[in-house]
């Protein structure tokens, strides 16, 4: 461990150094950023997919069973993020973070979220019930999505570091995926909703709006929720 004097010096350097910032067109790897105050700015849509009540899962069931649920959910969410053009940027226990770029990033991210909902209800859950007919466990989850300008910078120490994402989209998406509201599993900001193409806004025959407006009390703003599912091709 570095002595206190070295840590104090390192903090002062961070706080006093000027930032080197540039616009980016792709998600940077840690190696693309310097350890100094170096950053890439992106117009991005952030998706967080999260297992609900994972504490109850690990406390109420065998560790190997909880691990199977984690692995199944994160596998599905990760593959769908990649299949819809997103980049996986972080895992945090029972959740995964994905970033979408480009002109249709909001449409792609919401399509991904609805596909995750389909896979949970139509594929993972039936297989868990079939494999463990005596279990009372039912997988619950949520996906949160927001869009904004975000800053990517490198954090940590030599040999143990990663990219940290600073901006509203990362925080709002993480907060949205903690909402628990019945059959609604996908939660998006009004900024995401306003940028959706009709393919991710309307579904069914006849066409109906897949999204319901609600007041997000935590931040006193309008957001949208959906219980719809989208079968992956």
Q: What 3-state class would DSSP assign to 9?
A: helix
pLDDT of 162 > 90? The answer is no
Q: Is the pLDDT of residue 104 over 80?
A: yes
d(C-alpha 207, C-alpha 198), whole Å:
10
List, in order of start, the domains of the chain with CATH numbers: 19-25+37-154+161-226 (3.30.70.1230)
Average pLDDT for 130-159: 93
Size of the chain in residues? 233
Write down the pLDDT at residue 155.
87
Nearest to 75 by CA among 56, 51, 44, 58: 51
Q: What is the pLDDT of residues 140-149, one digit of tens each?
A: 999 999 999 9
Tokens 């649920």 map to which residue? 69
Instruction: Give the pTM.
Output: 0.94
Has residue 159 got a pLDDT over 80?
no
């Amino acid at each position: 461990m570095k002595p206190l004097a070295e840590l104090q010096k390192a903090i002062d350097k961070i706080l006093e150094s000027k930032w080197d910032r540039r616009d980016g067109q792709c998600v940077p790897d840690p190696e693309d950023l310097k350890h100094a105050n170096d950053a890439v700015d992106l117009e991005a849509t952030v998706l967080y997919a999260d297992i609900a009540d994972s504490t109850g899962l690990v406390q109420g069931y065998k560790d190997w069973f909880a691990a199977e649920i984690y692995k199944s959910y994160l596998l599905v969410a990760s593959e769908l993020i990649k299949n819809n053009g997103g980049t996986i940027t972080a895992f945090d226990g029972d959740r995964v973070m994905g970033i979408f770029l480009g002109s249709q990033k909001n449409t792609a991210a919401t399509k991904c979220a609805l596909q995750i909902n389909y896979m949970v209800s139509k594929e993972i859950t039936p297989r868990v019930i079939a494999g463990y007919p005596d279990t009372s466990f039912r997988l619950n989850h949520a996906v949160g999505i927001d869009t904004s300008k975000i800053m990517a910078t490198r954090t940590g120490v030599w040999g143990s570091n990663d990219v940290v994402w600073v901006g509203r989209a990362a925080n709002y998406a993480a907060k949205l995926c903690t909402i628990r509201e019945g059959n609604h599993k996908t939660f998006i900001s009004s900024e995401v909703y306003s940028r959706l193409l009709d393919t991710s806004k309307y579904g069914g025959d006849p066409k109906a709006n897949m999204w319901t407006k609600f007041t997000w009390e935590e931040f006193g703003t309008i957001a949208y929720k959906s219980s719809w599912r989208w079968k992956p091709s």
